[in-house]
Amino acid sequence: MGAEHSINATNVVPGGDPSGGSATVAFSESGLLGCGDCHSVHGNNTVVRFAGERARNSSNDTFRNYELRSTRLLKTRPGAATTSVAEYGSDWCLSCHRGRASGSGVVHNHPVESSLTTVAPYVYDRVPRMYSNSSTTQVLGTMGRLSPDPATGLTRVRHNRAFVMPWPRTSLQAGHYPICMQCHEDTRFVGEVGAVASSTVSAANGTAVADNPRFQNFPHETLGYRMLVESTTTAFTDDLCQNCHSVAQLP
């Protein structure tokens, strides 16, 4: 794998210090990060259900194309968080990666949407995405599986449409930044505005190398460098930036 959230292996959180550096955290598994630091096994105090990418309801993935709205058993207080987060979005990530927040008075990273930057932040299940793969207009919707898809009326549609932003920005982007998951998610080929690549999953999770994305279980099976959506396994590349920034806009 290019990157992963290892368990029973680390107690260091990149960007975990409010100043931007790493932080050492006392996690649940003898001080190390364990499954229970992010997931509530019995579903107590979990985030609101959302439509993820992966819907593996059987051992052979027979029902992989059905939408599955779930909490993923994600805690409202992951890691060493002291406050609750109701929905899966940037604020959930920032519970541990506190130094990556925008709006905190310390600017040292790409701007990110959170409750510090707006009173009604976008989240994984409510974010501007392209109306269709060939569209240049946006609608509010989920980053996960669509049901129904307003562009076609069809249900159970996989898509990569939330990983690109048009330039100039639409009214839905005014006053908002990208959420963490628009740059850090399961590795895939995104395409570009007006030509978004289709998301295709043809076999059980990870079996088909050509699937886009191949894995749908972020952050556990992402292939990209630093868990980036588009990059090589060893380095950052411009292709990710150009999902949202046109070449004409850049210096």
* pLDDT tens readout for residues 84-123: 999 999 999 999 999 999 987 776 689 999 999 999 999 9
Higher per-residue pLDDT: 231 or 61: 231
Residues of the chain above pLDDT 70, percent: 89
Q: Across the chain, where does the E strand assignment appear?
A: 12-13, 23-24, 50-51, 69-70, 127-130, 138-141, 191-192, 195-196
Q: Which residue has the tokens 């990110």?
A: 112
Single pTM value for the model: 0.91
**Interacting residues of 37 by C-beta distance below 8 A, sequence separation 6+:** 27, 28, 29, 75, 78, 79
> How distant, in Å, are the alpha carbons of 37, 67, 145, 203 from that of 178?
25, 24, 19, 30
Higher per-residue pLDDT: 140 or 81: 140
pLDDT in the model for residue 64: 54
